[in-house]
Structure 1
Amino acid sequence: MPPWYVLVALVFAVVMLGTTLPTPLYGLYRAQFGFSEFVVTVVYAVYACGVIAALLIAGSFSDVLGRRPVLLVGVGFAMLSAVCFLAAHALPLLFVGRVFSGFSAGLFSGAATAAVTELAAPDRRGRATLTATVANMGGLGCGPLLAGLLGRYAPYPLRLTYVVHLALLAVSAAVLVAAPETVPRKVPRPPLRVQGMVVPAQVRTAFTPAAIAVFAGFSVLGLFTAVAPAFLAEYLGVDDIAASGAVVMSAFLASLVGQFLMGRFGVARSLVLGCVVLMAGLVLIGTSLLTKELGLLVAGALVSGTGQGLSFRSSVATVSRVAPEEQRAATLSALFVAGYVGLSIPVVGIGAVAQGPGLRAAGLLFVACVIALAAAVSAYLLRRPVPVP
């Protein structure tokens, strides 16, 4: 039997998989419900708002209640989301489903990362941190591929996809029920408090550049999961949803490669290197928007995904090491808030700008802004390297 930290990481991946299942299906929803690309970005951003709300309200709850109860509630929200998409016959249920999906991801982001790390033996904590980030990004990447394949080759794509996910969630719930609890029961139990953004003073020097790097990296992932399928169909003539799902997945797979590479470069160097590689990928994406070359877009997805993976894993590792044990999940939740703000606000901006000059002009503006942000983080870290214990 695999160690518990691996099994809980697989549950983490299953929940995150559900959050990106709609990505290649948005074109089918647009045809069925008759809404614009801007509405697609708003539906996508509603998910991120759900994530942020869960992180801000309940980011510290697992430090008090324990990891398992919070994770089980997260699986419940993921099931509710799948049911909403199964029953959707109009736009409102898509919004509700995305909010529930956001709640599930928000509850899992900090609590599951902490649980996976804590379930590992002390000599495997580094490997467990990698396992948690791989589960997060791997699950996000598998969602578009699974939905794209089912949408292209199986019947009832807008229904079967969520039936499959519900089955996976049922198995995940059983795993969590059997998994050990890692947070000692406290008597009397401290009261639950909405702590908002919890960043202890001694953590802020390391937290700030890590959070900005995570914001930049997640904004690129948001570009692919929200609008890349539309760009592929509109400018490159790629309207096969399995192919568009594969392109989106390539960015997440590259993120996994970047996370593995961090072990070679070290935590501190990977944060700077990740931002530099992210900028190189953005240059390729911008060039693909100008030339309408599919190969350059895929190359941009691979390179920028690698940079995102490097900076993301190093950011999580840095914050995990410097955060006090009793506030680890809450501090990690604050880090993920930065990521999901990056995942939502720039994407809505792209959708709004696309209503005027068009999707390509909006994409180019996005590329320029994120390059400037990543460059600023790199310059700051080169002048003031973050000490990592």
Structure 2
Amino acid sequence: MGAWGTRPERNVRAGIGPVCMAYAFWAVMLGTTLATPLYPIYQQRFGFGSLVTTVVFAVYAAGVIFALLFGRSSDALGRRRVMLAGVAVSMVAAVVYLVAGDVPVLLAARVLSGLSAGVVTATGTVTLVELVRPERRGGAALLAAAVNMFGLGCGPLLAGLLAEYAPHPLAVPFVVDLVLLALAFVAVLAAPETVRDRRTVWPRAQRPAVPAEVRPVFVPAAIAAFAAFAVFGLVTAVVPGILVGVLHRPDRALAGLVVFAMFGASTAGQVLFAKVPERIALPAGCAVLVLGLAAIAGALLAESLPLLVTGPIVVGLGQSLGFRAGLAAVTAGTPAAQRSQTVSSFFLTAYAGISLPVVLVGVAASAFGLRGAAVAFTAAVAALALAALAALLRLERRRPAPQDGESGRSPAPHHAGR
């Protein structure tokens, strides 16, 4: 029978495969941000401040980065095996959240969440692309990006609503998460395997590398990605604390809604801006990101809730423009033999933006307060985005004009897991 079984079984699995994998991808990504609106509760219960909050958030990125280093393991082990492993790790993380009684256990849950995200981000994207016909692969890659961001946004929204209106705010969200993940496990089992020659081998880390010929476009694109993910990290990690400590709005559902709005805007932008040429989208993304940062800084200084909601939405739109275009430009300019390593480097740079800068905000908040630290952070990240924008504009001036029939668009990006 082989991996695909009989012909009727193959047809059924091929038909439901993309839906099953998209659901599993969504469910795992939802679990990774479920704790976002719960941080103020953990702070009160375990007695820690802003610095520990940012560390708890940032260790997530360590798990993601570690998993991305092994992004090609599904090429040998098979997509379904690795996806099942990612779902299983996410389930373990939910259980650890449920039993968390101190900060070290909470840190362990965050690392496990990061591992699950890294595994599923790498493998889920590739699987969705492989499960459709070649002419639909561009749409499948777009679907994977949208599912990723939408899942990240649904986690805070779900947890915020449950924490605000249901009993046991540190338990019920993760029980619901376990139910969603159990369904995801079944969904992966129902999907077909796309790797024909599977082998049981010990996964090996992939060394990141960037060829010299692609560095002129890689550097500004990676800086822009770092800046966008740094803002994502800031909003996800400290907005619940800002709502409580600066705006005096201790509404957990509201905290989840603000974070959802950012990821939702990124999801919508993936679709709305899909046809914008990369040479326009990448600098435009940097510019929009700066506008969003200005709105967040204004919200902190003026204690304005409308600005605090608007800023993350604008940031999400800027991220959707810049990240997609940057990844596509880097992919198009890299030789095929080095593409996987280069794209892995791009993702590693982006996820590094989630960790270190947010911890620095926590350190600064201990000395200057959360408001002052967050305003300084937005200014620093805006400077990074402006530097990336200037480098991109210089690169564009040196680039030859496109020939007749060329649109300026790059081929659909390959993912780090390919």
Query: TM (normalized to structure 1)?
Result: 0.93
| 2:276 match | 265
| 2:373 match | 362
SS across alignment from 1:227 = helix
* Residue 336 (structure 2) pairs with residue 313 (structure 1): no
Structure 1: unaligned runs, 5 residues or longer = none
Give the drift of 1:300.
Answer: 0.8
2:173 counterpart (148, 161, 167): 161
Within 1, Cα distance between the matches of 2:103 and 2:201?
Answer: 41
Give the drift of 1:4.
Answer: 2.5
Contact 1:63 1:326 in 2 (8 A): no
1:130 counterpart (131, 134, 142): 142
Within 2, Cα distance between the matches of 1:206 and 1:119?
Answer: 31
Give the drift of 1:134.
Answer: 0.7
Q: Deviations over 1:282-317 (max 9, x none)?
A: 111111111111111111111111101111222344
1:86 counterpart (98, 101, 121): 98
1:245 counterpart (256, 266, 271): 256
Within 1, Cα distance between the matches of 2:218 and 2:234?
Answer: 24
SS across alignment from 1:185 = coil
Contact 1:63 1:329 in 2 (8 A): no
Give the drift of 1:154.
Answer: 0.9
* Residue 42 (structure 2) pairs with residue 42 (structure 1): no
* Residue 35 (structure 2) pairs with residue 22 (structure 1): yes
Give the drift of 1:139.
Answer: 0.6
Within 1, Cα distance between the matches of 2:337 and 2:189?
Answer: 23
Contact 1:129 1:317 in 2 (8 A): no
Within 1, Cα distance between the matches of 2:90 and 2:342?
Answer: 23
Contact 2:217 2:392 in 1 (8 A): no
| 2:187 match | 175
Identity of aligned residues (%): 49
Structure 2: unaligned runs, 5 residues or longer = 1-11, 400-407, 412-418
Greater fraction helix: 1
Assess, with a 3 A threshold, how the Cα gap between structure 1 residues 312 and 348 changes in structure 2: closer, same or farther. same
* Residue 33 (structure 2) pairs with residue 8 (structure 1): no
Within 2, Cα distance between the matches of 1:183 and 1:210?
Answer: 32
SS across alignment from 1:120 = coil
* Residue 107 (structure 2) pairs with residue 95 (structure 1): yes
1:52 counterpart (65, 72, 89): 65
Assess, with a 3 A threshold, how the Cα gap between structure 1 residues 161 and 186 changes in structure 2: closer, same or farther. closer
Within 1, Cα distance between the matches of 2:218 and 2:28?
Answer: 26
Query: TM (normalized to structure 2)?
Result: 0.87
Contact 1:150 1:157 in 2 (8 A): yes
Within 1, Cα distance between the matches of 2:180 and 2:317?
Answer: 28
Give the drift of 1:96.
Answer: 0.8
Within 2, Cα distance between the matches of 1:181 and 1:209?
Answer: 37
Within 2, Cα distance between the matches of 1:327 and 1:107?
Answer: 21
| 1:377 match | 388
Within 1, Cα distance between the matches of 2:366 and 2:380?
Answer: 19
Contact 1:6 1:131 in 2 (8 A): no
Give the drift of 1:49.
Answer: 1.1
Aligned residue identity for 2:250: D
Give the drift of 1:142.
Answer: 0.5
**Which region of structure 1 is more displaced relative to structure 2, 201-210 or 47-56?**
201-210
SS across alignment from 1:346 = helix
Within 1, Cα distance between the matches of 2:175 and 2:18?
Answer: 26
* Residue 210 (structure 2) pairs with residue 210 (structure 1): no
Which protein has the larger Cα radius of gyration, Structure 1 or Structure 2?
2
Q: How many residues align?
A: 387
Give the drift of 1:365.
Answer: 1.2
Q: Deviations over 1:112-131 (max 9, x none)?
A: 22222222222212211111
* Residue 39 (structure 2) pairs with residue 31 (structure 1): no
Give the drift of 1:136.
Answer: 0.9
